Structure formats: structure tokens, C-alpha cells
Amino acid sequence: MPTRPTFVRPPRMGTLSLRKGPFYTVASVELGNTTTKCVVVTTDLRTARMYMLGKLVRLTREARPPREGELVFGRTLTGTPLTRESVAELVAETLTGAVRQVRLDIERDLHFVVRSTGVTAGFATPSEVGEMVRALAQGCLQAGIPPRKMTASISLDRVPPGLRRYSLLDRVYFDGAVAGTRPPAATEIVANEMEGELVTAGLKGAAKNTQVDFRNPVMTLDFGTTLAGRVTDESYPYADTIGSFAGLGGAIPDALVRGAGLADPVTGCVLDVEAPKRYSVEVGEWLEKVHSLVDVRTVPAGTTRFGTVPVDTRAADESGVVLIGVDAGRNGSALSELERLGAEVYEAGGLGLLMGLVDRVQVQTVQRLVSTAEEEGIVLPRTALGLTGRGITTGTKPRLVTKYLTTASGEPWTESHVLLMVEDGLALGAAVAARCMNSMGTPKHPIGGRQGDGCVLAARREAQKGRTG
């Protein structure tokens, strides 16, 4: 049955409206390779509809340089050095600024803070991301966030009194499943595993603002500077993760823009360029030239890093997870060649041709990822596809994905599968994850479970009784 592609941009809501109903408000603090941002999202606990209160975005390259005696534990994809202290300061400033911007009272209005990172290129193993996570936590503490607002509740007395009637903690406990999906048995398959989890949850949550049933089985892709995402099956009551994505995302078009001389030659990105309002997406042979340098495939066994991102293929195999990656050369070695192509494209057709190429390149990457997943047998008849991130939701990309994306049979994807595109999917996922950690489900508007099914609360209770009995 043909489906209509849906683009979700959460509606804005003023802080004063929080007094009018049972809203659960969460701040998502995200430190990425390109941007560091705090997005404040609130959810109506009666309807599961999500609203944007505010957002503050900074460039990660603005993190102050390391001071004497500080240990550099990692770098962004473009080489910005990071210490625990500099990350904590950047996070604290961003979080404080966002809360001040929307005039929230941290104690009264803000219920939870979720922190995440996509900065993984500078780490040797997935486990080293722990140092970054600790730095993010330190920044939240410096911003005045109490520890209890960053950890799951284990009993109703930890839930704000005004919201206790909306928590199901007296019936089910948080067992690690977020938005109806169990994480892989080995949680360190890719260094940015948490991003994949949050993005998947965010796309499911965003769908509650629409008529789209975006529940398991799903495939989710987040095109930040690096790539994140998951594929789930239709197990019940919890789906299992059967696919995971890693590698380069927006870093590929960033290289094209840097090569054109439109941004800083080291740290520049597409965000530095003001695209024309209209441009052609007829890019001729340039698309093939770019994709001849882009490697999209199942990550080979024994690989420890793909597309600059640390991966553990043994853990993926042991967990029954297919790991699919995007690279340019080997661990970004062809990014310099992409920069040279960017210069040639700009010289040949100016900014319009370059931006048209950027859009077509990203859409073709989506096609190659979907095709690889199909070849691996992890795309099921009802698998819904969700896309988010600056590298796929901007410009003409949403329209082009709808137009060009096909299944293995050659028919348009939307003839037989759901297609959902969401702005700020990771931040929305933080809001969903926070609710899961405090058992604040909405049984009449479920996020977990399978497409077409009702709420899984009763099945979850039975499953949890079996574990404790």
C-alpha cells in the first residue's frame, strides 16, 4: 500500500504553557564533531505529543584550547582537541544559555537532562567514549543540574509529585529497553551506540505528532557529521537490534564545501555556507565521481575502525547485529580527494551546482545503505525508514529521497514502506529515553511495540514477572 512520506518539525511552545498540563520537560545536551547544542523538549503526558521549547547551538570548534596540565583525551573529526575541563565548560555554557533563553527554572520546570556525543574519531576503542561521557556529566553538574535529574528513577517517590499519576513505575520497571527496543547484547559495537539508540527513540516519539505508525520494525539513520542508526526486528514485547550503522555522514559534503574554498580549510562545514534559495539538482557525472570515492558496505570482520569510528565486529557478530558503514577511502583517507572534487565542481558551476551535488550525494548514500541492509536480509516487509540529522533533512534532500529511493525490486520505497523524516531526532530521543527511564509511558498512544498493535504494558509486566519470579 502506498504511504505518504512525512516530515516532522516539532511545534514550538512557550514556557508559560507548561503550567497548563502534565508536561515532562527534558534538556538534551549533545556534543558533536561540528556542533554542540542543548535542545529543550517537553512532552504532553496525556497525548505523547512533543513540543520544542528552545534550542541553543554552538560550534564545537569554539571549545577553548587545552590549558597547561590538562589531558587531551580526544579530538573532533576535524582535529579540535578536547579535554575534560574544556568539554565541561562548553557543555555548562551551552546548557545554561539554553535554560536561560527559554526562562526555565531548573528545579521547578526541568525534569531530566540527557547527554550524548558523536565525537568518536579520536578514540582508540568504543569504551574510551566513557571519558567523554564523564566530561559531559561534569558540565551538567557545573550548570547546576542535580544528579537525580540525570539518573533513572527506581521508585515513585523519585518522580515529581505532580507527575506521579502518569508514571507506571508501580507496574513496570526500567529494564534497559528504550522505546520498545532491547539494546544489543554487547553494548559497544560502535563507539556512538547511544546516538543510535536515541535517534531510534526520537523518530518513534516524533511520529506521535502525526498519523504515522512508526513502530517496530524500523530502520533509522542519523546523518550528523558521523553516521548513527539502527535496524530493529518485530519481536514482542521488545524488538531486538539486528542492524547498526557507523562511519561518515555529513563529513562527506563538508569536504566538498571546504574544497570549494567556502569554509575554513580545516574545520569548515556545510553550515558555514548560505545556500541559494533555489538550485538545480541535475549534477551529471559529478555524482558518480563523488560516489566512486565513497565506500558503503557491511563492515568486514576484524575491522577496528570504519569511517573513523571505532567498531567491534566481534561484538556485532556475537550479538547477531549486522554492522553497515560509510567511509571515504580508508578511515577518511579520501576526504582530501573529495575536497579537490569540490573545488572542481565550484569552478564548473558555482554554488548552485555544488549544493545540488551535496544533496544528491547524501540521497545516494541513503540508497546504498538501504540496499546493503536489504542484501543482508534485515529489511522486513513492514520495516519503516526514519531519517534525521543535518546531512539529510536540509535543502532539497527530503524531496529527493522521496523521489529517488527504491527497494531492491525497483519500486519506490514509499509504495510499500513508511518514510519519516524528522528535525532534531536525537534531541527528541533524549526526551523519549528520559520518559522510559522513569516509566512515563502513554498506553493510549504507545511508542513501543509493533506497527498496528496496541500497548505492550501487559506483556512487559508478564516478561518482568518471569525474570523476577
State residue 461's pLDDT score: 86
Is 358 part of a structural domain of the chain?
yes
Q: What is the pLDDT of residues 12-48, one digit of tens each?
A: 999 999 988 899 999 999 999 999 999 999 999 999 9
Go through 217-245 and write b for each residue having 16 or more CB atoms within 10 A of its CB, e for each that does not: bbbbbbbbbbbbbbbbbbeebbbbbbbbb
Is 213 part of a structural domain of the chain?
yes
State residue 100's pLDDT score: 96
State residue 294's pLDDT score: 98
Q: Which band of pLDDT confidence, cut at 50, 70 and 90, is reported for residue 128?
A: low
Q: What is the pLDDT of residues 376-429, one digit of tens each?
A: 999 999 999 999 999 999 999 999 999 999 999 999 999 999 999 999 999 999
State residue 123's pLDDT score: 67
Q: What does each C-alpha distance from 352 to 72, 259, 345, 402 come to in angstroms?
A: 40, 15, 10, 21
Is 23 part of a structural domain of the chain?
no
Is 207 part of a structural domain of the chain?
yes
Q: What is the pLDDT of residues 202-227, one digit of tens each?
A: 999 999 999 999 999 999 999 999 99
Q: Which band of pLDDT confidence, cut at 50, 70 and 90, is reported for residue 121?
A: low
- Please tell me the total count of domains within the chain: 1
Is 405 part of a structural domain of the chain?
yes
Is 417 part of a structural domain of the chain?
yes
Is 281 part of a structural domain of the chain?
yes
Q: What is the pLDDT of residues 283-305, one digit of tens each?
A: 999 999 999 999 999 999 999 99
Is 339 part of a structural domain of the chain?
yes
Angle between helices 84-101 and 129-142 (to 10 degrees): 50
The CATH number of the domain holding residue 346 is: 3.30.420
State residue 158's pLDDT score: 87
CB-count burial class (<10 Å; 0-12, 13-18, 19+) for 303: middle
Q: Which band of pLDDT confidence, cut at 50, 70 and 90, is reported for residue 436?
A: very high
Domain ranges, residue 255: 197-425
C-alpha cell at 462: 508478564
Question: Is a pLDDT exceeding 60 seen at residue 127?
Answer: no
Least confident range from 94-103, 190-199, 319-328: namely: 190-199
State residue 176's pLDDT score: 84
